[in-house]
Amino acid sequence: MSACERERASYRFCLIGFYMVLTTGPVLVIRKVIMFCVNGCFNIHYLRQEGRRNIMLRKLIKVSCVTITVLFAFTALAGAEDLKPIKLVAPEMTGGRPLMEVLKDRKSMRNFAKTKLSDQTLSNLLWAAWGINRPEQNLHTAPSASNQQEIDVYVTLEKGLYLYEPKSHELKPVLAKDLRAATGTQPFVKNVPVNLVYVADHGKMYRNRGVPKETKKFYSAANVGYISQNVYLFCASEGLGTVVRGLVDRESLAKQMKLRSEQEVVLSQSVGYPKNPAKK
């Protein structure tokens, strides 16, 4: 193989590297970088023998710089690309136990089994929490002050963080990272199959109407209360355990969830099956 052919081959290798990096997740990026470096070393080794080391080395450095820049940009944007959207199955809007019995059983529970929720139960839970029950008017199962609908329900599962989209009834991937432990300061939260995080997006509220932040916070807290109570009632009806939680390091959680500055964590809520139904 002539020096020119080798040069061309190394460029081709770089292009293949770009393509592979751009089409795979960040987990594989490190492997690709190692492969790239090994290949570069081979080229330098051959060219050193031919006295063309400096020319080729300069070219390799140039290509490496571009590759590394692209890799950084790519990994900075990455996070959700390993997670796929979850199209939730259609929620069951009938059934459940009689309301008065459910009210009798509503309670907070903190002793969770690791058992995951079925697809149907997760779908029903999210619809009960903040689903759309009057699609023609885009209205929800919980009220919201001045119908501002500023609360977003984030869902932390073992496989990652999702945002519940009530209109399409799906889970939009946010981060391929298990953030369950970050949703609260109590030890049990890290193993609960589902931790909901209620986030108020103050940017969506009373745009350009000069409403003070205090008022927005007050309404957001009330709005979250209704969603949380929907979850409590659904859980009581389904034999699930739940507890709403204010013991949350909001600043740290917001950072880990990569929230925007107008977004604020209000409360978290754990949902799962009771480990020992007798214990609270």
Ligand X SMILES: Cc1cc2nc3c(=O)[nH]c(=O)nc-3n(C[C@H](O)[C@H](O)[C@H](O)COP(=O)(O)O)c2cc1C
Which is nearer to ligand X, 40 or 184 (by Cβ)? 184
Instruction: Judge contact between 277 and 260, C-beta under 8 A.
Output: no
What is the torsional sign of CA 219, 223, 228, 232? positive
Which is nearer to ligand X, 107 or 213 (by Cβ)? 107
> How many CB atoms are located within 10 Å of the residue 255 CB?
11
Find, among 158, 155, 198, the residue nearest to 178 by Cα.
158
Least Å distance, CB 276 to ligand X, is: 16
Find, among 82, 80, 157, the residue nearest to 117 by Cα.
157
> How many CB atoms are located within 10 Å of the residue 30 CB?
11
Least Å distance, CB 268 to ligand X, is: 8
Q: What is the DSSP string of 189-213?
A: GGG-SEEEEEEEEGGGSSTTTT--H
Interface residue list for ligand X (CB under 6 A): 107-108, 110, 186, 243-247, 267
Least Å distance, CB 228 to ligand X, is: 7
Least Å distance, CB 221 to ligand X, is: 8
Which is nearer to ligand X, 108 or 133 (by Cβ)? 108
Helices (H), 142-270: 213-238, 250-256
Which is nearer to ligand X, 123 or 195 (by Cβ)? 195
Which is nearer to ligand X, 97 or 250 (by Cβ)? 250
Which is nearer to ligand X, 123 or 220 (by Cβ)? 220
Which is nearer to ligand X, 35 or 113 (by Cβ)? 113
Instruction: Judge contact between 180 and 192, C-beta under 8 A.
Output: yes
Least Å distance, CB 243 to ligand X, is: 5
Q: Which residue, chain included where needed, has tokens 């008065």?
A: 100
Least Å distance, CB 131 to ligand X, is: 22
Q: How far is CA 144 from the centre of its chain?
A: 24
Long-range pairs of 159-162 with CB within 8 A, sequence gap ≥ 24: 159/83, 160/80, 160/82, 160/83, 161/257, 162/83, 162/86
Least Å distance, CB 201 to ligand X, is: 19
